[in-house]
Amino acid sequence: MALQLGVSLSSSFIEFCLTQTNENEKILSFQRKYLAKESLTQAVQSFLQEESNRKIKRVIISTRFLEKILESHLGGGVAQVVTSGFESWPVLRQPTRPFYFEIHPYRADPLGVHDLIFPLSERVSAQGQILVPLDLAELEFIAAKLKLMKVKKVCINLLFSDKNPVHLESVKNFFQEKGFLVYAEMDLETTDEMAQWRRNLLNACLTGSFTDFKEELYAAFAPHFKPEEIYFAFEKEVHNEINENKLISLFFGLPYSFSKIFQKTPQVLHLGIEDWCLYDFSRKQNIWESQWGPIGVKTFENKRLNVQLTEEIIAVPLGGLNHSKTELGYEPGPILFGKAHRPTVFDVLFAKQNPKNMEAFIHRQVQNRLDSQLNVLVRNKYEGFSSEEALHDLKDQIIHQIIHQVELNVRHKQIVMTGALAPFLFEKIKKRSTELDWILHSNADEVEAWAASTLKGRS
């Protein structure tokens, strides 16, 4: 029997799920590992060692590991060649922050450095007509300058390339022949040039770090699997080749894999270990509202919940305690993971119970630290409540916040709950939200890796 290994790789966890290709509802093996405790290579090798008696045909990976790259290190040194007259456009089009009125507003950080934006005399009209022809001498000058600056990556961001790609192709070929890495993907469905340009820029910024990550990944799976046996889920396909012009696509592999398994019940509340999100797989969207501004991406309608598992618990101006907008992540993670000191939503939800599927990560020895931190917060904010009552109240509040957000955003009565936290929260949510028809997915805990394992790959 042919077996397929689905892998879900996010910032801090890796999950493995083994299924049979012709009977993939049944999970043969599942593991979840915490990457702060063991390296990617150790995690992969130990899983494969345990499953060494099985013949696994291929590996399919859906990964949000790139989020970790974005948090810590975006590769610098990316040049942009833009239509002359629009050198400042990538900066001027950055969204304003904050969202509310403030006398010192600022722009969201642009992806590219302004000093590395080079104008190019060329212009194509909205009808695809060439108004200003290309000047190759200018390209030589730009290339020479980039070599002097030791910049290797170039984004070609020209207006109306989708209407007439002749300049784009010429410039792309020019820089490729000079040995540069060129990012010039055209998106025919996104009309906003900045959504297209940011896509090229983000792909370029990710390349360096992703190359290292890819090599580490292939090394982790060697010698059991060759690179051509390792597939990745992208925003609308599964493939074993990774094109540097499509790295962003990897962010959206998880929704793609979900869309394949949730066709009959498209409304899904995913309470994963790193991401809580409401999906509607019956609706598509062309824009991803990223932290750098809108980026052209084809994915399914989704809304990240405004409460997330690693958000810190803080006192709020309106009174009482609530989750902040700051996600602390899993390094060091919730207090219950052993090393941290700031209580999170995770700590509140599991202060008194152990979720079975995360027992390996939780250290009850730090219970006193958690109790003490929560008591400090609770002490002056919940008059007349004991610490235990206050904790219970806070937990209930979080659950209600999840419910209210979902109920105000769903379009269908039936909703599937899935994700590592789903088995623990399902009954509480279902009991309090009686207007919706809640279904707990049978593979809720394993869903991310399991969904990957059910995909069919193309090579």
Q: Which residues bind another protein (CB under 8 A)?
A: 84-89, 91-93, 96, 98-107, 125-126, 159-160, 191-194, 306, 316-322, 381-382, 385, 390, 393, 396-397, 400-401, 404-405, 407-411, 432-435
Between 121 and 354, whose beta carbon lies closer to another protein?
121
Minimum CB distance to another protein, residue 436 (Å): 8
Classified as helix, coil or strand, 405 is: helix
Using alpha carbons only, what angle is made at residue 165 by residues 163 and 167, rounded to the nearest 5 degrees?
Answer: 125
Contact call for residues 81 and 138 (beta carbons, < 8 A): no
How many angstroms separate the CA atoms of 392 and 15, rounded? 31
The DSSP bridge pattern shows strands 13-20 and 3-9 to be antiparallel
**32 alpha carbon, distance to own chain's centre:** 18
Between 45 and 387, whose beta carbon lies closer to another protein?
387
How many angstroms separate the CA atoms of 238 and 121, rounded? 39
**Residue where the block lists tokens 């379009």:** 411
Minimum CB distance to another protein, residue 249 (Å): 22
Between 156 and 247, whose beta carbon lies closer to another protein?
156
Across 169-223, where does the E strand assignment appear?
181-183
How many angstroms separate the CA atoms of 5 and 48, rounded? 10
Minimum CB distance to another protein, residue 332 (Å): 27
Minimum CB distance to another protein, residue 401 (Å): 6
Between 148 and 318, whose beta carbon lies closer to another protein?
318
Minimum CB distance to another protein, residue 173 (Å): 23
How many angstroms separate the CA atoms of 97 and 447, rounded? 36
Contact call for residues 59 and 230 (beta carbons, < 8 A): yes
Between 244 and 393, whose beta carbon lies closer to another protein?
393
Joined together, the tokens standing for residue 301 give 């309608």
Contact call for residues 71 and 11 (beta carbons, < 8 A): yes
Helices (H), 88-192: 89-92, 136-148, 166-177
Minimum CB distance to another protein, residue 321 (Å): 7
Minimum CB distance to another protein, residue 200 (Å): 15
Between 271 and 455, whose beta carbon lies closer to another protein?
271
> Rounded to whole angstroms, what are the CA distances from 308 to 120, 328, 438?
44, 10, 20
Between 224 and 395, whose beta carbon lies closer to another protein?
395
Contact call for residues 298 and 335 (beta carbons, < 8 A): no
Minimum CB distance to another protein, residue 358 (Å): 26
Q: Name every residue whose Cβ is closer than 8 Å to that of residue 82 and which is 6 or more positions away in sequence.
A: 89, 90, 117, 118, 119, 120, 157, 158, 197
Minimum CB distance to another protein, residue 293 (Å): 12
Between 191 and 263, whose beta carbon lies closer to another protein?
191
Between 4 and 267, whose beta carbon lies closer to another protein?
267
How many angstroms separate the CA atoms of 82 and 326, rounded? 36
Structure letter (DSSP) for residue 95? P
